[in-house]
Chains A and B, each alone.
Chain A
Amino acid sequence: MIIEHLSHTADEAIKVEGFGLDDLFRNALKGMNNILKKGFCDTVKRFDCQMQIEVESTSKTCLLIDFLSEILTLSYVQKAIFCGVYFSHFSKNKLVATVYGTWFDQFEEEIKAITYHEAHIRRTEKGLWETCIIFDV
């Protein structure tokens, strides 16, 4: 699991990698949660809530951004950070998942949105999946 922070004048940007697409999505979620509250998911000992999500998009890159947007919205509405995810269906354009969240007191950073800008899921020479994600903060 590799998450690298990049520089972007306006926002927070990360480069994320995964062995498979589902791994990439999990790592991207971890990257987003680390912006909301650094290290929170590393110390979570219990889940307080679980939600079902279903996301359908026009491409795998859009699916990743829409997946993160969906969970970000849930974080704000449920006042929880969703560190756990179980995919019951995962294809190029659609996923169904159960996400597990833990309630929190205060975010460290407020992410306004996950942008599609410069996001592009591709295969690296090493056979990993990678993309850059820019967060509007």
Chain B
Amino acid sequence: MMQKVAKEHIIKLEDYFWEIPKSFRADMLVPAQILAFEELLDDIIEDRSLNQLVNVATLPGIKKAALVMPDVHEGYGFPIGGVAATSHPDGVISPGGIGYDINCGVRLLRSELQLEDIREQLGPLSKELYEQIPSGMGQGGNIRLSLEELDQVLSQGAAWAIENNYGIEEDLKFTENKGKMEFSDEQFVSVMAKNRGSDQLGTIGSGNHFVEVDYVSEIYDQEVARAFGLEKGQIVVLIHTGSRGLGHQVATDYIRKMMSAMADYDIKLRDRELACVPFNSEEGQEYFKAMCAAANYAWCNRQIITWEVRKAWENVFGKKGGFLKVLYDVAHNIAKIEEHTIAGKEQKVIVHRKGATRAFGPGSRELPEAYRDFGQPVIIPGSMGTCSYVLAGSHRSKEITFGSCCHGAGRRLSRREAKRQVNAPNLKEELQERGIHIKAGSFRGIAEEAPVAYKDVNMVVETVHTSGVAKKVAKLNPVAVIKG
């Protein structure tokens, strides 16, 4: 029986930073570290996420520490909210460290309108957004791709959408990696995965995915907010989705492949969902190239949803609605080759982020020129009906979290428990009374995503702000939520 991590096994490094030392279990190669205030830590200990983190600390080639962000919760294999860096090119790559929804991520659009400009039209706007953005839960979306077109999406990413008039060139500038992973190779994506992806571009899916209209309720840092184009009262639109069935299939295909291949590399793990192979092995390279292709699909998907949102916007507000500009688009389920300082030496590592957002500080070459002096925008969606945040990444993230930050509020109740506790029609009415319009495929979906099912996003964000990993820039409050 595996020993459950308890408070007495954890050492306090800072008020917001904790460590389970390597000595906790003989097979740990590095310590396990937790970025969280003590109140959050007490909650985190309740589920099995820290035991999962300890398992991550046993991955061959893992460097420095296995980490979790304050929104961590139990996943399968890796905890959600986990970050692990393995040595490049001989450390392992693990599809479980990225998740089934490859390049699940968020994109924030900023409008030229203020809350008072749209308050009276929130009903029609919600309806129009719901009509323009398919969930894709049944017969797919409105775009059907031929195999040739799909291969172009997998190799070009968001640029495919721009070339096909689903956006403007400037959108790419404000997308992580300009919406394209350069190592993608569509030949390593299975026919089944491609079949699943052929009709899902421009769809959000179900679960915790959504499109949300918010207003900027508070500005914490005027200078950075100005650089990001944000001001108090301004309306913004938040998109949260990923690579849909194509990405899910890529992950399924390669976890299965790696489970058989692990024995060839003499890798033994506590949890099958951590299945991994050396990055520079044939299987490792094939997975990485397929993962990059799926990430490209996700960026293209969020770009096409942007086009759908713009269409809905124009249908409701006409020319006076102005243009919705991309503030930033960032992944929170991905593996990337990055350089980090480990034991005083700059090293190339494969950073796995599963439910964690990249949060690079000012000066990073990876950032669009307009943001380079201020740090990368970090977009943290809260739960439905609470608030979301825009933060700016800082240098501290490179020092302690491999340039990473939290990705949301973090689930605390299972979907089943949330459905048991929440009366969805009442919640919908309650939110409507608070001025939040909800359009969802089902009441069940509303209950599962109720605020009570999530941790307090304010506390999660306060942790990363206090730690210096990312700084608060603005707070967003929802006025309309569209769910699959």
CB pair B196 A7 closer than 8 Å: no
CB pair B411 A116 closer than 8 Å: no
Which A residues are CB-close (under 8 A) to B100? 112-113, 136
Is A118 in contact with chain B by the CB < 8 A criterion? yes
Tell me, rounded to whole Å, the shortest Cβ–Cβ distance linking B231 to chain A: 36
CB pair B138 A110 closer than 8 Å: no
Q: Which of A7-54 contact B (CB under 8 A)?
A: 7-12
Question: What are 9 residue pairs bridging A and B, where the CB atoms are less than 8 Å apart in the complex?
Answer: A11-B76, A11-B414, A79-B138, A106-B139, A107-B206, A113-B251, A117-B76, A117-B271, A118-B76
Is B180 in contact with chain A by the CB < 8 A criterion? no
Q: Which of B363-417 contact A (CB under 8 A)?
A: 411-417
Given contacts A9-B73, A118-B76, contact A137 B252 (CB under 8 A): no
CB pair A113 B256 closer than 8 Å: no
CB pair B272 A116 closer than 8 Å: yes
| Top-10 shortest CB links A-B | A117-B76, A106-B138, A116-B272, A7-B414, A113-B100, A115-B76, A112-B248, A112-B100, A110-B206, A117-B273
Q: Which of A69-128 contact B (CB under 8 A)?
A: 69, 73, 76-77, 79, 104-110, 112-118
Is B205 in contact with chain A by the CB < 8 A criterion? yes
CB pair B76 A136 closer than 8 Å: yes
CB pair B206 A109 closer than 8 Å: yes
Given contacts A69-B256, A117-B271, A137-B207, contact A8 B137 (CB under 8 A): no
Which B residues are CB-close (under 8 A) to A113? 100, 248, 251-252
Tell me, rounded to whole Å, the shortest Cβ–Cβ distance linking B272 to chain A: 4
Interface centre among B251, B259, B417, B441 (most CB of A within 10 A): B259
Tell me, rounded to whole Å, the shortest Cβ–Cβ distance linking A31 to chain B: 14
- Can you name the residue of chain A whose Cβ is closest to the Cβ of B138? A106
Is B171 in contact with chain A by the CB < 8 A criterion? no
Is A134 in contact with chain B by the CB < 8 A criterion? yes
Is B185 in contact with chain A by the CB < 8 A criterion? no
CB pair A9 B47 closer than 8 Å: yes
CB pair A58 B259 closer than 8 Å: yes
**C-alpha gap A7/B196 in the complex (Å):** 29
Which A residues are CB-close (under 8 A) to B417? 7
CB pair B414 A117 closer than 8 Å: no
Is B152 in contact with chain A by the CB < 8 A criterion? no
Main secondary structure of the interface of A (DSSP, over half): loop
- Can you name the residue of chain B whose Cβ is closest to the Cβ of A119? B272
CB pair A77 B139 closer than 8 Å: no
**C-alpha gap A117/B248 in the complex (Å):** 16
Q: Which of B131-169 contact A (CB under 8 A)?
A: 137-139
**C-alpha gap A110/B136 in the complex (Å):** 10
Is B214 in contact with chain A by the CB < 8 A criterion? no
Is B3 in contact with chain A by the CB < 8 A criterion? no
Is B233 in contact with chain A by the CB < 8 A criterion? no
Given contacts A115-B76, A116-B259, contact A110 B207 (CB under 8 A): yes
Tell me, rounded to whole Å, the shortest Cβ–Cβ distance linking A66 to chain B: 6
- Can you name the residue of chain B whose Cβ is closest to the Cβ of A55? B256
CB pair B138 A105 closer than 8 Å: yes
Given contacts A7-B416, A73-B196, A112-B100, contact A117 B77 (CB under 8 A): yes
Which B residues are CB-close (under 8 A) to A115? 76-77, 273
Is B75 in contact with chain A by the CB < 8 A criterion? yes
Q: Which of B199-258 contact A (CB under 8 A)?
A: 205-207, 245, 248-249, 251-252, 255-256
Which B residues are CB-close (under 8 A) to A11? 76, 414-415
Tell me, rounded to whole Å, the shortest Cβ–Cβ distance linking B102 to chain A: 10
Tell me, rounded to whole Å, the shortest Cβ–Cβ distance linking B115 to chain A: 33
Tell me, rounded to whole Å, the shortest Cβ–Cβ distance linking B60 to chain A: 19
Tell me, rounded to whole Å, the shortest Cβ–Cβ distance linking A108 to chain B: 7
CB pair A9 B252 closer than 8 Å: no
**C-alpha gap A69/B139 in the complex (Å):** 20
**C-alpha gap A77/B192 in the complex (Å):** 8
